[in-house]
Amino acid sequence: MARIVMAQLDFWVGDVAGNTMRMIEAVRDAHARFAPDLVVFPELALTGYPPEDLLWRRGLQIRVQEALVRLKREALPVAIVFGYPEYAADGLYNAACIVEGGQVVATYRKHRLPNYSVFDEKRYFTAGDAPCVYECGGLRLGLTICEDIWGPEPAAQAAAAGAQVLLNINASPFHVDKGVERSLELAQRATETGLPIVYVNLVGGQDELVFDGESLVCNAEGGIVYRAPAFAEGLHAVDFDDCGKPLVTLPVAEPLGLEASVYKALVQGIQDYVNRQRFRGVVLGLSGGIDSALTLALAVDALGANRVMAVLMPSAYTSAMSIDDAQAQAQTLGVQSVVLPITESFMAFKHTLEPVFRDLPEDVTEENLQARIRGVLLMAISNKTGRMVLTTGNKSEMAVGYATLYGD
C-alpha cells in the first residue's frame, strides 16, 4: 500500500525562499500526521503562479537553484513532487521533479503549454515531449502538469511507459463551472488510460487570478472518489493498493453552488491581494444600495470588520433612507463608518467651473462631478491611512462600460 498526500496550499509569486520553507514545513507536518510515501505540491510551487517576466530575471534563477539545493539538503523524511522552472541549456521548462533521499530522482517537463485566456506560457517556456514514470511506495507514478490532463497525449504516454497512477500538479484558476469541467476531463483521461488520477491544485489569490484548490482523486472508471474543500488550504492523504486502486475512506467535499463559489472566490481574491500588498485594510464608499452593501460584506468576510472602513458621502440629492440604510449596514457588520457630506465640495467645484459652465444646462456632467468628488475623498483616505480602495461597481455595469472615470 502507498500513501500520497496532496498539499493544497497557497504559494506567493516571487517568494522562492518563503515558498521553499512552506514546502519543508508541510512535509514535516504531513510526515507527523500521515506518514506518507509521497507529498505532492502544485505547479510552479517554488515560484508561485504565474511568475511571468520574473522568469527572465537572473535573481529569480539564482533563488530557484538555491531552493533546489536546500530541498535536497534538508533530509526530508519522505519523497516530494513539486513544480518549478527548470533552467536548462536548451530552454526554460515548466517542470516537476521528485526529490527523494536528498536527490532529484526524476524530472518531467510540461508538454501542453496553454496560450489562451489568462495563460501566456509559450512566451516563457519550451514544451517537453517525454513521459516520466517513477516508482515510489511500490507504485509507478506518471507525472503530468496542469494542461497536460486536458488532452489525451501526455496521459497516454505515461500509461504506455508503465504508470499505474497519474499525478497531475496544477495552478488552475477559478471560473464559473470550472469544477464541472475538471471532473469531466479527469473522467475522460481516466477511462482512456484505465488509470486513477491524483489532481493537486493551487489555492489562493494572485492579482486578478484566484485559484480554488478543490484537489481531486479520480478512480480508473472516471468516478471522483475524493474532493478537497474549495478555497481552503490543507493536506489530504489518500491510500492506494499495490495495483494503484485508491482506497478512499475520507468524506468527499460537495462542490459549491454557483453563488457560494463566486462569493468565496471574491473573498479569497480580496484577502490575498490586500495582505500581499501589505495594506492595513480597505476603505469603500457606502451608499445604502445593494452593490456597496455586498462589497462591504465581502470585505468583512475577507479581512475582518476591524480592517474595513466605510465612508458615507451624501449629497443634497441623497435620501435620508439611503443614509439610514448605510449606517445600519455598517453597524450590523461592526464596521467603522464616517459621514463626509460632499455638498460644500460640490458647490465649490460648480463655483470654480461657473465661468465655463455659465448658460449651459445641467446634465450628466454634474452627476459625474459628484462621483469624482467621492473618488477624491476615498483616495485621500487611502493615501493617509494605508487602506486600499474597493470599488463598488457591479459586473453588469462593467460589461456595458457604465462608470465614471476616477469616480466612486
Residue range 50-56: mean pLDDT, rounded: 97
Q: Which residue has the cell 441623497?
A: 318
Mean pLDDT, the chain, integer:
95
pLDDT at residue 405, as a whole number: 85
- Strand 308-312 versus strand 336-339 pairing type: parallel
Phi-psi region of 256 (alpha: psi -120 to 50; beta: other; left: phi over 0): beta
DSSP for 5-42 reads EEEE----TT-HHHHHHHHHHHHHHHHHHH--SEEE--
Q: What are phi and psi of 290, to 5 degrees?
A: -70, -35
pLDDT in tens, 194-228: 999 999 999 999 999 999 999 999 999 999 999 99
Q: What is the pLDDT of residues 17-46, one digit of tens each?
A: 999 999 999 999 999 999 999 999 999 999
pLDDT value at 69 more than 80: yes
DSSP secondary structure string for all residues of 275-321: HHTT-SEEEEE--SSHHHHHHHHHHHHHH-GGGEEEEE---TT--HH
Catalytic residue among 43, 100, 147, 214: 43
What is the domain partition of the chain in residue ranges? 2-257, 279-400
- CB-based burial of residue 28 (10 Å sphere; 0-12 exposed, 13-18 middle, 19+ buried)? middle
Question: What is the mean predicted confidence (pLDDT) over 99-121?
Answer: 95
- Kindly state the average pLDDT of the residues 330-355: 96
d(Cα 80, Cα 31) in Å, to the nearest integer? 11
Percent above pLDDT 90 for the chain: 91
Q: So what's the pLDDT on residue 168?
A: 98
43 among known catalytic residues: yes
For residues 162 and 309, give the distance between their C-alpha atoms in angstroms, rounded to a whole number. Answer: 58
Structure confidence at residue 249 (pLDDT) = 73
- Residue 185 is predicted with a pLDDT of 96
How much is the pTM?
0.93
Return the CATH class of domain 279-400.
alpha beta
| pLDDT mean over 382-400 | 94
Given the residues 97, 132, 136, 146, the one annotated as active site:
146
> If you count them, how many residues does the chain have?
408
Provide the grid cell at 131.
513521459
Homologous superfamily, domain 2-257? Carbon-nitrogen hydrolase (3.60.110.10)
- Whether 403 shows a pLDDT value over 80: the answer reads yes
Catalytic-residue membership of 245: no
pLDDT (mean) for 315-332 = 92
| Residue 2: per-residue pLDDT | 94
Using an 8 Å Cβ cutoff, are 106 and 122 in contact? Answer: no
Distances (CA, A) of 185 to 55, 83, 148, 189, 223: 30, 21, 11, 6, 11
Burial of 42 (0-12, 13-18, 19+ CB in 10 A): buried
φ, ψ for residue 288, nearest 5 deg: 100, -5
Tell me what pLDDT residue 304 has.
98
Which one from 110, 132, 147, 264 is the annotated catalytic residue?
110
The whole-number pLDDT of residue 213 equals 96
Assess whether pLDDT exceeds 80 at residue 251: no
Position 287 confidence tier, pLDDT thresholds 50, 70, 90: very high
Check if 110 is active-site. yes
Candidates 188, 94, 97, 203; CA nearest to 143 is: 97
